[in-house]
Amino acid sequence: MTSRFLRNVFVKGLVLFLLINLVFVVINPVGLGRISLYNSVFPGRLRFPFGEDPAQSYNLSLFNLDAMFASHIIAAEPKPAGEYRVVVIGDSSTWGILLRPEQTLAGQLEQAGLKLCGKTVRVYNLGYPTISLTKDLMVLTYAMRYQPDLIIWPMTMEAFPLDSQLTSPIVANNAAIVDTLITRYQLPLDPRDPAFVHSSTWNQTLIGQRRSLADLFRLQMYGVLWSASGIDQSYPVDYEHAQTDLVSDVAYHGLQPPTLDESKLAFSIMEAGLRVAGKTPVLLVNEPILVSAGKNSALRYNYYYPRWAYDQWRQMMKQKAANQGWVYLDLWNLVSADQFTNSAIHMTPVGEALLTGRVEQTILQQSCP
Amino acid sequence: MTLAYILVFVVIAAILGVATRRGGRLPVLLVISALAVYALQPALPVRGLDFWLPTLTLGLTVLGWVLTTPRQQRIWRGNWPAVAILGGIVILLGLTRYLVFSLPLTASNPPQILLILVVLLIVAATGFLLWRFSKPGKLILSAAFVFVILIFVLLKVPALSEWTSQVLRGWNGQSTLLASPLDLRWLGFSYIAFRLLHTLRDRQSGRLPTVSLSEYVVYVIFFPALSAGPIDRIERFVGDLRRPLLITSDDYGEAGKRLVVGLFKKFVIADTLGLVALNATNAPQVRSAGWAWVLLYAYAFQIYFDFSGYTDIAIGLGRLLGIKLPENFRAPYLKPNLTQFWNNWHMTLTQWFRAYFFNPVTRSLRSGKKKFSIPSIVFITQMGTMVLIGLWHGVTWNFIAWGAWHGLGLFIHNRWSEWTKGRFAMLPIRWQKVLNVGGVVLTFHFVAIGWVFFALPSLSISGHFLQTLVGWR
C-alpha cells in the first residue's frame, strides 16, 4: 500500500459520502417507512409502535406514520370480502397502557367474535398514546386507506383544548401532514406555530436523518422479539396509581369558571374527522374517567378535570351530537374508581370489559348498507 | 469503550505514531495508558472507588515490576522517570478535584488530595521495601501470584464482591443495604491480572526478559488492549516497543482497515444483534423453539462480532503506534471441530491457559508417580482448563457449566479423532467436504448451545431455555 493509494481511498470515500448525502436530499425517500418486515417476515403488530423503554417493551416510538401503519396488522392484506372492518382510534386508553393487546377495547371486541351484516367483525386498534384530536385526525385520515366499515372514536375532554393540539410529538414532527389538514379542513391551528418541527436541508441528508432511519431499522429488529414473545409493552410489577387527592385549582388550560369558552376547544377538528370518515359510520365515545372521592373531589373529578369545565364540555358534546345526529355514547362514569390504573383514563381489564360491553351493544345496532 | 473514546484514541494514536518517530514513544505511551486507566474506568456507586481502582492498577503493576525484576536490574537512575510520571499523574488527577470545571479523565470527583498522598506514600514505602530487600524468589513470586488470584476471586465471586462492597460502603458512611456485586466493576482487571500472572510465572521459570519499569507498565496497561485484550506476551510486546518506530503506509492501510472493520463489527453488527440477542429478560418470554433459536443465533453472532470487533480496534490502534498485537479470532465459527474452534476463539486466552495450566498439568500427570491412562489425562486437563476459563468469566455455576460443556466437548472430540484417525482418509474428497461442512454446522451448534449457560444468569433459567430450544416447553 502506497501513501498515494491511501490518499485516494480517503478522497474517494469522502466524495462518495458527500454524494450519497446529496442524493438522499434530492430523492427525499419519504416512503421509506412503507418498507417493512412486518406482515411478511414478522406478524403485524396489534397496535402501533410506541414505547419509552425499547429494551423491555421491544417497541419504540417513532414519528413516521408510514412505518407505523406498515408494521400494523391492518396492513397485512387487502380487506377480505367477508370482513366487517372496525377501526378504533384514540389515545393511550385505546392503545392500552398497562394492558395486553387482547385486554384493550379493540382486543376484547375482536375476541367477542361478532358478526354484522353477514360479515365477520374484525377490530383494529389504531389508538396512539398522547391526547390530541389533531393526532386522531391524522391517524384517521391515514386509516381511511384501509376501508373501515365502522370507526370507533373514544375521546376525552383533554384532547380538545386548542393549546394542547401540538404537544403530541407525533403531531409536532409531522408538520407537512398537519399543514395539509389545516388547509383542507380550515383547522384553527397556525402552520407557523413554533411547536412544529420543520425539516431543513441538513435534516434531509443521510446524516440529518440518521436518528429516524435508525428508528425505522430498530423497529424492524424488534419484530424478532415481538414475534418471539408477543410483548409490545413493559408491564411494571408496581406503578404509581392515578391521583385521587387533588389540588384545589379549578382553572382548566387557563380557562376560569363559570363559563367554558367553546372557542378554545377543538370541536372543529373533531368535525373534520367526521368529514374525513365520510359515509363510514363513526361511533363517538366519551371514554370513562376516574371520578375521585379524595381530597378536593368536590372541585375536581380527577387530575385532568375541574368539575365545572368537564360538566360543561359534556353538555356541549351532548348538544352537538343531538343537533348533528352523531352516534355518541357518553360513558364518562361507567367505570368505578378502583378500576383505573396509573391515570384517570387508563383502565384495568375489568374496566375495559365494561366499556366493551356498552360499545358492543351499540355496534350491533348498526344498520347495514 | 465507547465510540467517543475509540475515536479519541484513534486520533491520539495517529498523532503519537507521527510525533514520536524520533523518540519519546515509551514515556508518551506510559502517560496516555495511565490516563486511559482512569478515563475508561466506569463510575461506581461506592464513593471514590472509581479513582482508587485505577490507582490500585498502577500500584499493582509497579509492584509487579519490582517483584519480577532481579535486584541488580532495579536501577533507580533508569526508572525514576516512570515512577515520577505515574506518581505525578495520580497527584495531578487528584488535584482536578479542585478545578471549577470537570475533566473527562476520572469517572467522578477524585478523593481528598491528602488521602491520595497518604495512599501514594504507603504504595511507595511498600515498593521501596520490596525494591531494597526482596529478590524474585519462588516464595515471594508465589505469594504475589496467589495475591492476584485472590483479588480476582474477590471480584468474580458475587457474594464476595457484595461483601467487599458492604465493607467499603461502611468505611465511606454509605448505605450497606444498597451494596451490589456490580459496585466492584474494575476496568480491565481480568486482562491486567493475566499479564501480571504471566510475568510472575515466567520470572519463576526464568523465562522473563529484563524490562524497564516503563516497558513493564506499558505492557500491562497498554491502552488499546486495556479493556478487551488481546493478552500479549511481554517479550514480544517489548520487542516491538524497542524497535525504532517506523510507520509505513502499509501500517496505516492495515490499521485503517482493522479500525473500520472493528468499528463496523462492534457498533453496527454486534450492537444491532444486541437488540434481539438472548438475555435473562427475553429468555423466559420466548413462546416457540424456532424463535428461541433465532435469539440464540443472534447472541452467538453478537458476542463474536462484539469481541472480535474490539480486538480489531485494539490491533488497529496498536499498529498506528508500531505495536503488532496478536490476533485473537480467526473465523472460529467456520471451524469443523471444537478443538479448532478453541484454537481460533479468544486465542490469546487459550494460549495463556495452555502455557500455564494445560501443558504443566499434562506433564505432571504423565510424569507423576501415579499412572493415568491417556483418556484420563485428556479428560482431566481438558475439563480443568475449560472450567478455569469459565471461572475467569465469573465464579458462578453457569460459567462452570459452560466450561464443563466445552471441556466435555473437547474430550469427546479428542476421543473421536483418535478413533477415526485414518478411517476417513480413504473417503472420496467430496465426502470429506460433506463431513467438513457437517463438522462446521455441528461445532457451531455445540458452541451456540454452550452460550445459553454463558448468556443467562442461572442454571434454572438456562435449563428452561434449553427446554424451549428443543420444544419441550
- Model pLDDT for residues B427-438, shown as the tens digit of each residue: 888 888 999 999
Residue of A217, A224, A230 lying closest to B276 (CB–CB): A224
For the beta sheet containing A327-330, the strands, ordered from the edge strand earlier in sequence to the opposite edge, are A115-116, A119-127, A83-90, A150-155, A282-286, A327-330
- Confidence (pLDDT) at A5: 87
Could you tell me which chain A residue has the CA closest to the CA of B254? A1
Could you tell me which chain B residue has the CA closest to the CA of A227? B291
Contact B389, B403 (CB under 8 A): yes
Q: Is residue A3 part of a domain?
A: no
- Confidence (pLDDT) at B101: 83
Residue of A1, A55, A229 lying closest to B285 (CB–CB): A229
Q: Which uninterrupted H or E stretch holds B129?
A: helix B113-133
The Cβ of residue A245 has, within 10 Å, a number of other Cβ atoms equal to: 10
Q: Do B249 and A225 lie within an 8 Å CB cutoff? A: no
Question: CATH number, domain at A61?
Answer: 3.40.50.1110
pLDDT confidence bin for B301, thresholds 50/70/90: very high
Which of B248, B273, B285, B297 should be substituted to probe chain A, the one whose Cβ sees the most A Cβ atoms within 10 Å?
Answer: B285
Which of A14, A220, A225 should be substituted to probe chain B, the one whose Cβ sees the most B Cβ atoms within 10 Å?
Answer: A225
> Domain map of chain B by residue range?
24-242, 248-325, 328-469
- Confidence (pLDDT) at A347: 97
Q: Is residue A11 part of a domain?
A: no
Q: How far is A22 from chain B (nearest CA, A)?
A: 23
CA distance A90 to A156: 9
Could you tell me which chain B residue has the CA closest to the CA of A54? B275
- Confidence (pLDDT) at A85: 97
Residue of A221, A224, A228 lying closest to B287 (CB–CB): A228
Is the pLDDT reported for residue B274 higher than 90? yes
**How many contacts, defined by CB atoms under 8 Å, are there between A and B?**
54
User: Of residues B424 and B54, which shows the higher confidence score?
Assistant: B54
Contacts of A8 in chain B (CB under 8 A): none
Is the pLDDT reported for residue B295 higher than 90? yes
Q: b or e along B302-313 (b: 16 or more beta carbons within 10 Å of the residue's beta carbon)?
A: bbbbbbbbbbbb
pLDDT confidence bin for B2, thresholds 50/70/90: confident
Interface of B to A at Cβ within 8 Å reads 249-250, 252-254, 256, 272, 275-276, 281-282, 285-288, 291-292, 294-295, 298
Could you tell me which chain A residue has the CA closest to the CA of B289? A228
* Mean pLDDT taken over chain A: 94
Cα–Cα distances (Å) from B210 to A307, B134, B145, B183, B324, in that order, read 85, 16, 19, 37, 20
Is the pLDDT reported for residue B424 higher than 80? no
C-alpha cell at A69: 401503519
**Low-confidence winner among A27-31, A330-334, B186-190 (lowest mean pLDDT):** A27-31
Q: Which uninterrupted H or E stretch holds A95?
A: helix A92-95
- Confidence (pLDDT) at B406: 98
Q: Is residue A225 part of a domain?
A: yes
Percentage of chain A lying above the pLDDT 90 cut: 87
Contact A50, A91 (CB under 8 A): no
Q: What domain count does chain A have?
A: 1
- What are the contacts of A168-171 at 24+ separation with CB within 8 A? A168/A130, A168/A131, A168/A132, A168/A134, A168/A135, A169/A61, A169/A63, A169/A130, A170/A61, A170/A63, A170/A65, A170/A128, A170/A130, A170/A135, A170/A138, A171/A130, A171/A132, A171/A134, A171/A135, A171/A138
Q: Is residue A187 part of a domain?
A: yes
Q: Do B249 and A3 lie within an 8 Å CB cutoff? A: yes
Cα–Cα distances (Å) from A259 to A165, A250, A255, A264, B210, in that order, read 21, 12, 8, 12, 91
Is the pLDDT reported for residue A199 higher than 90? no
Q: Is residue A20 part of a domain?
A: no
Contact B349, B455 (CB under 8 A): no
- Confidence (pLDDT) at B432: 86
Q: Do A224 and B294 lie within an 8 Å CB cutoff? A: yes
CA angle B179, B183, B187 (to 5 degrees): 170
Mean pLDDT of the A20-34 span: 87
Contact A345, A287 (CB under 8 A): yes
Which of B18, B248, B249, B273 should be substituted to probe chain A, the one whose Cβ sees the most A Cβ atoms within 10 Å?
Answer: B249
DSSP assignment of B64-98: HHHHHS-GGG--HHHHHHHHHHHHHHHHHHHHGGG
Contact B242, B326 (CB under 8 A): no
Question: pLDDT by residue (tens digit) across B439-463?
Answer: 999 999 999 999 999 999 999 999 9
**Given B198, B346, B393, B445, which residue is catalytic?**
B393
Residue of B256, B275, B292 lying closest to A221 (CB–CB): B275
The Cβ of residue B233 has, within 10 Å, a number of other Cβ atoms equal to: 19
CA distance A123 to A283: 13
Three-state SS annotation for A59-85: CCCCCCHHHHHHCEHHHCCCCCCCEEE
Q: Is residue A208 part of a domain?
A: yes
Q: What is the ipTM of this complex?
A: 0.87
* Mean pLDDT taken over chain B: 93
Is the pLDDT reported for residue B242 higher than 80? yes
Q: b or e along B74-94 (b: 16 or more beta carbons within 10 Å of the residue's beta carbon)?
A: beeeebebbbebbbebbeebb
Question: pLDDT by residue (tens digit) across A101-143?
Answer: 999 999 999 999 999 989 999 999 999 999 999 999 999 999 9
Is the pLDDT reported for residue A50 higher than 90? yes
Position of cell 480517503? Answer: A10
Q: Do A228 and B295 lie within an 8 Å CB cutoff? A: yes
Residue of A5, A56, A229 lying closest to B287 (CB–CB): A229
C-alpha cell at B126: 511498600
Owning domain of residue A51:
29-364
CA distance A353 to A277: 26
DSSP A286: E
Q: Which amino acid is at A129?
A: P
Contacts of B254 in chain A (CB under 8 A): 1
Q: How far is A6 from chain B (nearest CA, A)?
A: 7
CA distance A106 to A99: 11
CA distance B97 to B105: 11
Residue of A2, A6, A230 lying closest to B287 (CB–CB): A230
The Cβ of residue B364 has, within 10 Å, a number of other Cβ atoms equal to: 11
Contacts of A55 in chain B (CB under 8 A): 281
Residue of A6, A221, A228 lying closest to B252 (CB–CB): A6
Tally of CA atoms within 13 A in the half-sphere of B87 that contains its CB: 16
Mean pLDDT of the B366-371 span: 86
- Confidence (pLDDT) at B197: 96
- Confidence (pLDDT) at A198: 85
Contacts of B272 in chain A (CB under 8 A): 217, 221
User: Within an 8 Å CB–CB cutoff, is residue A14 touching chain B?
Assistant: no
Q: Do A231 and B285 lie within an 8 Å CB cutoff? A: yes
Cα–Cα distances (Å) from A297 to A62, A260, B351, in that order, read 37, 19, 73
pLDDT confidence bin for B133, thresholds 50/70/90: confident
DSSP B269: I
Tally of CA atoms within 13 A in the half-sphere of A64 that contains its CB: 24
C-alpha cell at B111: 478523593
Contact B319, B14 (CB under 8 A): no
- Confidence (pLDDT) at A2: 80
Contact B338, B406 (CB under 8 A): yes
pLDDT confidence bin for B225, thresholds 50/70/90: very high
Mean pLDDT of the B18-35 span: 91
Q: Is residue A9 part of a domain?
A: no
Q: Do B249 and A230 lie within an 8 Å CB cutoff? A: no
C-alpha cell at B263: 468499528
Q: Do B253 and A1 lie within an 8 Å CB cutoff? A: yes
- Confidence (pLDDT) at A192: 92
Answer yes or no: B406 catalytic: no
The radius of gyration of chain A from alpha carbons, rounded to an integer in Å, stands at 23
Coil, strand or helix at B183: helix
Crossing angle between the packed helical segments B76-95 and B213-221, to the nearest 10 degrees: 50
- Confidence (pLDDT) at B36: 95
Mean pLDDT of the B115-120 span: 94
Could you tell me which chain A residue has the CA closest to the CA of B291? A228
Position of cell 410529538? Answer: A169
Contact B16, B28 (CB under 8 A): yes
Is the pLDDT reported for residue B99 higher than 90? no
Q: Is residue A5 part of a domain?
A: no
Beta-bridge partners for A125: A88
CA distance B108 to A84: 61
Percentage of chain B lying above the pLDDT 70 cut: 100
pLDDT confidence bin for B472, thresholds 50/70/90: confident
C-alpha cell at B185: 466493576
Q: Do A228 and B288 lie within an 8 Å CB cutoff? A: yes
Q: Do B272 and A230 lie within an 8 Å CB cutoff? A: no
Contact A359, A105 (CB under 8 A): yes
